[in-house]
Chain A
Amino acid sequence: MSNGLPARVRRVFRLALRNADRSAAETDEEMQFHLARRTERLIALGLSPDEARAEALRRFGSLPDARARMLRAARMRDGRLRFIERLGGVRQELAYTFRQLRRSPGFTVAVVSSLALGIGANATMFGIIDRVLLRPLSGVVDPARVLSIGEVRKFGGEPYRNTALSYPAYTDYREHVSAFAAVGAAESPREESLGRGAGARQVRVMPVTPSYLMLTGARAALGRFFTPDEDGLPSGSSVVVVTNGFWQRALGGSPDALGKTLDIGARRFMIVGVAPPDFTGLQYAAVDAFIPLSAGAELEFGHQNWATTRDDFWLQIYGRLAPTRSAVAAETQATAVLRAAAARADDSTATVALRSIASPSGATSDPDIRVAALLAGVSVLVLLIACCNVANLLLCRAVQRRREIAVRLTLGIGRRRLVAQLLAESLVLGVLGGAAALLVVRCGGTLMRRLLLSNWAWEGSSVDGRVLAFTALVALVVGVGVGLVPALYASAPDLSRALKEGVREGFGRRGRTRSTLLLVQATLAAVLLVGAGLFVRSLVNVDRVRLGIDTGRVLVATMDLGQSGYTQPQVEDLYARMESRVRRLGGVAAASVGVALPFSSSFAAEFRIAGVDSLPTVKDGGPYVNAVDDGYFRTLGIRIVRGRGFSQADSATHARVMVVSRTMARLFWPGANPIGQCVTFDADSLPCTRIIGVAADAHRDQVASSGDILQYYVRLEHAPAFMTPRVLFVRPVSGDAEHWVAPVRRAVESVAPALPYADVRPMQTLLEPQLRPWKLGATMFAIFGAVALALAGVGLYGVIAYGVAQRTHEVGVRVALGARPSDVVTLVVGQAVRITIAGLALGLVLAAVGVRWVAPLLYGVSGHDPWTLGMVCAVLLGVALAASALPARRAAAVDPVRALRAD
């Protein structure tokens, strides 16, 4: 009886499983059978039929309840068996899918790598956008009630919200806005030297008021945050709270770190606390340590009037709303405070605009982030292209498998099952692509963080839970999405004709579907290439901006002497000694000491020309002044275009002479020779300063400014009293400036061994933050563009080659009827070129529409730059020709006799 049971059992199961009523009926039948047998047995033992029946029922259990329990158990059994059966089905389906994929490794690799690139690009960008725009600031409690304070004034008729405010503004808001439970202020993170001498390096320090850390709602992970009296005027206490990242990296994550000291700038700070993981305050930029605001101000300004002046704008101010108070109430109060203070003439109409730190708009003003957000949008295009590619490959595959599918249909496999199978295949491909995408994210994300967005605080891996979830979601959606087209095709009712027809196929409906997919690919690739072209052009333009200074060949050295106790003459003497020491280094062509550091600091002084009432001005502002010694123009490579630069003779005679920029000469003395003109500075008592030369315009601050610079140079010994800082410029004869950093630092430090860290760096690094958005855009657009181009090219090749293979018969007929090989080539290549031209046309239209999002991020290139558009057309057409060349040759070589016999 047990022989052959499984098949029969299975069949019984299926019957029972299909129908709940049937299952109940069978349970009842089983119960009745049992009661009947029991009754028979009892009668055989001598009971009367009635007694036996009653006894049987008693032994069975109280009937309605017992039956209900049995039915429930039967239902559970059926449910569970059904589940097991389905699971088995899925497993079978997956095994089948994997077998199929292993059989065509080329196809699988093409699909998985396409998806990996597309999904990976998106997940990478998601990880970055998520961190800087979407995710709430780490550790901040109830961020919606924390508001940044901005003062809105009108400039040239346009309202402008300024968030860099003065210290007195902070105390005003803190004391007079009762709608705030707490008000805190902070300076943006800035670099300070850490340690002394050879082991010295740089840390990113953020000066904050104790209330700033308190109002975040975060608690120190170890130790404590600051107490209010640690931020006392004028110089605060020497205490520091380190971030978790710094604690792990620099202090080994040891609890012993508390109580240890850090030499930051010229001061020694004691570590009193460690911030919780990922905590960077109310902003996203990387930070290593928090110090009291007054201590930070002292490091930066010395004992100046930073706490009382309303003219220094250096603080970000935040308030946390008191319970039950609204932002509107706080705004009204703060506006009243602003107007009462009347720091500026037009403040009677100024207003305060509060903005929640929970809204992402705060970070979008950063050009890095705007480029990253743009790139996130662009990565979606890459994914779309990848999807088109994969859908096309799947479609080709489905067409190739028509016979197999038709056979399976005739063998009685349901259409639903078939569609499920095809979807399972694309889903498996999607999941494999998603897994491979994680590798892309790991490499790409890490690279982007390090090279292109190094300014932001990144802790932890680039693949975190949220990125993982995002990747999984995209992989599933893409898996189902790309599978739909071929699945619908395969389930089309005319498929069974395939058996009779054979596999030949013209360019019918499926051909159109594939052409459409190709068209979409070509269109999107064109859009991406336009973007890439525009950004590369911008970067090239920025790089080519004639700064007037050889930034690539100069090093700058500064030393933070704020707390050294040096008097100004001692500082000047130290720099003079540093300069002569550096000059003695072999291979140094020139060295010079100046006051203003281009791209970092600028100075302006009251300035009059006899007989001129209003001085002309330019967009860049000015005129700006720098005080420099003899070697300055030679060291920085600033050309003297007229007259002469400073000389030793001037030093010997202490001559009051100056050099002006070309723009200044042109605007201030139009049509006249500036040489020999006399200029008077603020104190009338001094003799006038005579112009001896005109220098080429040298950029002062923004790389992307117009290049019209109003600037003049006086001799270092005549520097106005407020121009206290000094910078040493060094120009090596040759070689990479980077290689000279260490020798120059050693030389500088040998002059004054006990002093703090000497900051020596190639001048080019001062430009990096300004160049970064263009670099980021150009690099990422170029990568995305290359990926898009490769995908589009491979897709085009695949479809054309496939089409040629399918049309061998047709080509044979044509050749037999007298077509020449060149006609055949034209036929094949023409198809690829037609699709590409259509895609280009659509793509250029789309790019023209989309360029307005990109335009503000470009430099020196219009969104409709003909050079870029021309290049894009050439490149895409080139790819189309290359992709169709091989299939065209194959088609031209078709032997009509063989082709016609083949079927």
Chain B
Amino acid sequence: MTHPLAVLRGTLDVLVLRALVASPMHGFEITAWIEDRAHGNLELEDSALYQALYRLEARRLVAAEWGVTDNNRRARYYHLTAAGRAHLRAETADWQRYARTVSAILGQPA
């Protein structure tokens, strides 16, 4: 396995928004959701995720409320707002175009 990659700052926001598409989650669920899909390739400090969440909250891309987990423990649940959904769509499209372009350039024979 190669060494894990540091997560670019803007990227983390998009990943968080993506995690919340299907259903509201609390912070740890989001962490686990991203880790499961990164297969150990992304290195992420857990506290950074919360800062990203608060940032998104301030921009009203996500909203939060206290809820109860399956084990009856209090947890703060985050969900996407309409603005968050729109933002995710736009960012995803941009990101994919960017990645395709960079890959295409790097993939050309020297």
Expressed in whole angstroms, the Cα–Cα distance for A269 and B24 within the complex equals: 85
Q: Let me know if B46 and A76 touch, CB within 8 A.
A: no
Determine how close the nearest CB of chain B comes to the CB of A27; give it in whole angstroms: 8
Q: Let me know if A2 and B46 touch, CB within 8 A.
A: no
Q: Let me know if B63 and A69 touch, CB within 8 A.
A: no
List, in ascending order, chain B residues with CB within 8 A of A27's CB: 50
Interface string of B4-29 (1 = CB under 8 A from A): 00000000000000000001101110
Q: Let me know if B45 and A38 touch, CB within 8 A.
A: no
Q: Let me know if B54 and A34 touch, CB within 8 A.
A: no
**Which of B68-76, B86-94, B99-107 forms contacts with chain A?**
B68-76
Known interface pairs A9-B65, A12-B66, A41-B32. Does A77 touch B47 (Cβ–Cβ under 8 Å)?
no
List, in ascending order, chain A residues with CB within 8 A of B65's CB: 5, 8-9, 12
Partner of B79, one of A5, A67, A73, A80: A5
Determine how close the nearest CB of chain A comes to the CB of B65; give it in whole angstroms: 5
Task: Label chain B's interface by main secondary structure.
Answer: mixed
Q: Let me know if A38 and B28 touch, CB within 8 A.
A: yes
The answer to the question of B58 belonging to the interface, with a C-beta cut-off of 8 Å to chain A, is yes
The answer to the question of B60 belonging to the interface, with a C-beta cut-off of 8 Å to chain A, is yes
Q: Let me know if B28 and A37 touch, CB within 8 A.
A: yes
Interface residues in A68-83 (C-beta closer than 8 Å to B): 69-70, 73-74, 76-77, 80-81
Which residue in chain A gives the minimum CB-CB distance to B59? A80
Q: Let me know if A30 and B45 touch, CB within 8 A.
A: no
Which residue in chain A gives the minimum CB-CB distance to B48? A61
Determine how close the nearest CB of chain A comes to the CB of B22; give it in whole angstroms: 11
Which of B28, B31, B75 has the largest number of chain A CB atoms within 10 A? B28
Partner of B46, one of A29, A38, A74: A38
Q: Let me know if A61 and B47 touch, CB within 8 A.
A: yes
Q: Let me know if A1 and B67 touch, CB within 8 A.
A: yes
| Size of interface on A: residues with Cβ below 8 Å to B | 31
Q: Let me know if A80 and B58 touch, CB within 8 A.
A: yes
Partner of B54, one of A33, A60, A76: A76
Partner of B45, one of A29, A59, A80, A81: A59
The answer to the question of A26 belonging to the interface, with a C-beta cut-off of 8 Å to chain B, is yes
The answer to the question of A742 belonging to the interface, with a C-beta cut-off of 8 Å to chain B, is no
The answer to the question of A469 belonging to the interface, with a C-beta cut-off of 8 Å to chain B, is no
List, in ascending order, chain B residues with CB within 8 A of A1's CB: 23-24, 67, 77
Interface string of A288-327 (1 = CB under 8 A from B): 0000000000000000000000000000000000000000
Known interface pairs A5-B63, A5-B79, A73-B55. Does A33 touch B31 (Cβ–Cβ under 8 Å)?
no
List, in ascending order, chain A residues with CB within 8 A of B24's CB: 1-2
The answer to the question of A84 belonging to the interface, with a C-beta cut-off of 8 Å to chain B, is yes
List, in ascending order, chain B residues with CB within 8 A of A60's CB: 45-47
List, in ascending order, chain B residues with CB within 8 A of A26's CB: 66, 76
Q: Let me know if A74 and B76 touch, CB within 8 A.
A: no
The answer to the question of B51 belonging to the interface, with a C-beta cut-off of 8 Å to chain A, is yes
List, in ascending order, chain B residues with CB within 8 A of A641's CB: none
Interface residues in A2-16 (C-beta closer than 8 Å to B): 2, 5-6, 8-9, 12
Interface string of A19-47 (1 = CB under 8 A from B): 00000001101110110011001000000
The answer to the question of A488 belonging to the interface, with a C-beta cut-off of 8 Å to chain B, is no
List, in ascending order, chain A residues with CB within 8 A of B50's CB: 27, 30-31, 34, 70, 73
Determine how close the nearest CB of chain B comes to the CB of A610; give it in whole angstroms: 106
List, in ascending order, chain B residues with CB within 8 A of A5's CB: 63, 65, 79
Task: Label chain A's interface by main secondary structure.
Answer: helix
Q: Let me know if B79 and A2 touch, CB within 8 A.
A: yes
Expressed in whole angstroms, the Cα–Cα distance for A26 and B27 within the complex equals: 13
Q: Let me know if B51 and A33 touch, CB within 8 A.
A: no
List, in ascending order, chain B residues with CB within 8 A of A6's CB: 63
List, in ascending order, chain A residues with CB within 8 A of B54's CB: 70, 73-74, 76-77
Q: Let me know if A33 and B73 touch, CB within 8 A.
A: yes
The answer to the question of B42 belonging to the interface, with a C-beta cut-off of 8 Å to chain A, is no
List, in ascending order, chain A residues with CB within 8 A of B67's CB: 1
Q: Let me know if A81 and B46 touch, CB within 8 A.
A: no
Determine how close the nearest CB of chain A comes to the CB of B80; give it in whole angstroms: 9
Q: Let me know if A34 and B58 touch, CB within 8 A.
A: no
Which of A9, A29, A41, A67 has the largest number of chain B CB atoms within 10 A? A9
Which residue in chain A gives the minimum CB-CB distance to B50? A70
The answer to the question of B64 belonging to the interface, with a C-beta cut-off of 8 Å to chain A, is yes
Partner of A61, one of B45, B66, B79: B45
Expressed in whole angstroms, the Cα–Cα distance for A696 and B58 within the complex equals: 91
Expressed in whole angstroms, the Cα–Cα distance for A66 and B47 within the complex equals: 6
Expressed in whole angstroms, the Cα–Cα distance for A236 and B23 within the complex equals: 92
Expressed in whole angstroms, the Cα–Cα distance for A234 and B58 within the complex equals: 80
Expressed in whole angstroms, the Cα–Cα distance for A70 and B47 within the complex equals: 7
Known interface pairs A5-B63, A31-B50, A34-B28. Does A81 touch B58 (Cβ–Cβ under 8 Å)?
yes
Q: Let me know if B28 and A29 touch, CB within 8 A.
A: no
Determine how close the nearest CB of chain A comes to the CB of B87; give it in whole angstroms: 16
Expressed in whole angstroms, the Cα–Cα distance for A3 and B51 within the complex equals: 27
Which residue in chain B gives the minimum CB-CB distance to A75? B54
List, in ascending order, chain B residues with CB within 8 A of A9's CB: 63-65
Expressed in whole angstroms, the Cα–Cα distance for A1 and B45 within the complex equals: 29
Which residue in chain B gives the minimum CB-CB distance to A26? B76
Expressed in whole angstroms, the Cα–Cα distance for A554 and B23 within the complex equals: 97
Q: Let me know if A77 and B74 touch, CB within 8 A.
A: no
Determine how close the nearest CB of chain A comes to the CB of B72; give it in whole angstroms: 13
List, in ascending order, chain B residues with CB within 8 A of A76's CB: 54, 58
List, in ascending order, chain B residues with CB within 8 A of A80's CB: 58
Partner of A77, one of B27, B58, B76: B58
Expressed in whole angstroms, the Cα–Cα distance for A37 and B75 within the complex equals: 11
Known interface pairs A8-B65, A61-B45. Does A69 touch B58 (Cβ–Cβ under 8 Å)?
no
Q: Which residues of A contact B (CB under 8 A)?
A: 1-2, 5-6, 8-9, 12, 26-27, 29-31, 33-34, 37-38, 41, 59-61, 66-67, 69-70, 73-74, 76-77, 80-81, 84
**A-B residue pairs in contact (CB < 8 Å), sample of 7:** A9-B64, A30-B50, A33-B76, A34-B50, A70-B54, A81-B60, A84-B60
Taking A12-B65, A38-B28 as known contacts, 6 extra A-B pairs with beta carbons closer than 8 A to each other, sorted by chain A number, are A1-B67, A29-B74, A33-B74, A33-B75, A34-B46, A77-B58
